[in-house]
Amino acid sequence: MRRFRLAMAQINTTVGDLEGNTSKIMHYIDEAKALGADLVSFPELAITGYPPEDLLFKPQFISDNLHKLDEIVAHAKDISAVVGFVDRQGDIHNAAAVIHDGRLVGIYHKCYLPNYGVFDEDRYFQAGSDGPVFVINGVKIGVNICEDIWHAAGPMVAQRDAGAEVIVNINSSPYHQGKKAFREKMIATRASDNGLIISYTNLVGGQDELVFDGNSMVFNQRGELITQGSQFQEELIVVDLDAEDVFRYRLHDPRLRKERGHVRLGEMEAKVIMVSERGPRTSRPPLPERRPIIYGFPGEVYAALVLGTRDYVSKNGFKKVLIGLSGGIDSTIVAVIAADALGPENVVGVSMPSRYSSEGSITDAQILAKGLGIRLLTIPIEEAFKASLHTLSEAFKGAEPNVAEENLQARIRANIIMSLSNKFGWLVLTTGNKSEMATGYCTLFGDMAGGFAVIKDVPKTLVYKLAQYRNTLKPKDVIPRSVIEKEPTAELKPNQRDVDTLPPYPVLDPILKAYVEEDRNFEQIVDMGFDEETVKRVILMVDRNEYKRRQSPPGIKITQRAFGRDRRLPIVNRYWGF
């Protein structure tokens, strides 16, 4: 037995909060030490928060982060730690500090810099090419960062050949639906392919459009999951590993048996660095029982939205939020998410009925507010609508009614809601879903007006699933059945229904997924079994409404590809592929 007690501090950092992040790191170093851990690992760029984006261009920001690292090093007595920070050696690097007993014993530079999807790391960092292995308390540990482990021939291979038994991989990996299974499969494969233990420490928390889901994991040399952290929750996960077991396992595999010490593989170099000659500790406190919180679908989407909302609101310094409640499913689910994220006492709803609002819409908003325990204001828009129509009557003389009169109502509501926001300091949550954002079925400066678009990346059909899921939680059935069952309508003119403008959502959503998230073209989507005219219409709606999305508030990414940093299309664009 060569036991090694590893702690993974899955913490919720805040971008730019060097002071706060450092305090939190020190706190968890103390916690891990109290639990007898040999080493505690923190997420990628834990000191700065992730992603710091163009803060990285400020030289003082880099210096300040280096000073914080010094403080952490000095603090980490009698334990080892792996801490993500920004290193500066000529250029800057996405780096991991390896700390042992108050000393900085090594620095690892991330070798593979993601520059796709939401990531722009080539914009900032130089890549590293060394993969050192640290001998700590008798165990050989290879450190690397996030993307490095996604590459089968990455630094881990050199580290393995240099004798690494345990890989400490630190991450800031954002959530999207299905990513958990994808990550597990990848890490299991890397662990069993290389015959070593992999610990995967992930960030948790919301940052602008991203939510990091935590769910740190450890896989053994057989590719078996031996522990994991909760999803969407800060947590210290401590686990006992047996390095001797790895050593013995590898003796039986001729490919893995050789241990070469200093290794060169192409441009990659792995050195073995002796950090502590001491063997494993002999006595340690017992580990507390843990039961990680792991969600199913659609529970994990719901949890992502709750955490993303809570962090965006609180990290921006707000306490209360304001939501326009139409009685429809979208504003209802946003209100429920907000109440779950912030407490019902911090959520204010405002009902703004018009001449076209149905009785049902008004009462559904009231029933929801009551069931949820949130405050509800009612401010009818008729007077302002009439005055605005009169104001415009001269200019509109002779023109047919069109979308202008519909949008005017949405924009009067925006004025009311933003006035309340400016008066009382409440952050406005908007309620548009991904199907609307994709097709432009929303009013710019109207229902799109606000600070944070909670369900911006949630297709309408998934909104219904979330509502049904939420009704199974406590307080149960908080979403009135009538809200789930009524036909979708914007109620901006008499007898208006979404299907007058859009294909039915069960048709629309798969077309949107294929076009927006999977880059399928017109022919391929038609081949999936959809009507040609419908597909053309949807593609044109998506392309022509890029300008609206460019002015949308940020919202939480929960799919493979969200609108925002994840999808960068020109506004001026004459291509649609048919």
Catalytic residues: 44, 110, 146
Comparing CA positions, the residue from 357, 339, 166 lying closest to residue 250 is 166
Which C-beta is closer to its own copies: that of 239 or that of 427? 427
DSSP of 495-515: T--GGGTS--HHHHHHHHIII
Q: How far is the CB of 543 from its own copies (least distance, A)?
A: 9
Q: How far is the CB of 523 from its own copies (least distance, A)?
A: 8
Q: How far is the CB of 243 from its own copies (least distance, A)?
A: 38
Which C-beta is closer to its own copies: that of 200 or that of 212? 212
Which C-beta is closer to its own copies: that of 82 or that of 449? 449
Which C-beta is closer to its own copies: that of 233 or that of 415? 415
Q: Which helix (H) or strand (E) holds 87?
A: strand 80-89
DSSP of 363-376: HHHHHHHHHHT-EE
Comparing CA positions, the residue from 548, 324, 306 lying closest to residue 428 is 324
Which C-beta is closer to its own copies: that of 41 or that of 430? 430
Contacts of 123-126 with CB under 8 Å at 24 or more apart are 124/56, 124/57, 124/92, 124/94, 125/56, 125/91, 125/92, 125/93, 125/94, 126/90, 126/91, 126/92, 126/93
Considering Cα of 17, then 23, then 28, then 33, what sign does the dihedral take?
positive
Cα-Cα-Cα-Cα torsion 403, 406, 412, 415, nearest 10 degrees, comes to: -60
Q: How far is the CB of 482 from its own copies (least distance, A)?
A: 27
φ and ψ at 427, to 5 degrees? Answer: -80, 135
**Residue 507: HSE in the Cβ half-sphere, 13 Å Cα cutoff:** 15
Q: Is the CB of residue 488 less than 8 Å from the CB of residue 498?
A: yes
Q: How far is the CB of 417 from its own copies (least distance, A)?
A: 10
What DSSP designation does 573 have? -
Q: Give the separation between CA 201 and CA 237, rounded to whole angstroms.
A: 9
Which C-beta is closer to its own copies: that of 358 or that of 419? 419
Q: How far is the CB of 384 from its own copies (least distance, A)?
A: 5
Q: Give the separation between CA 52 and CA 95, rounded to whole angstroms.
A: 14
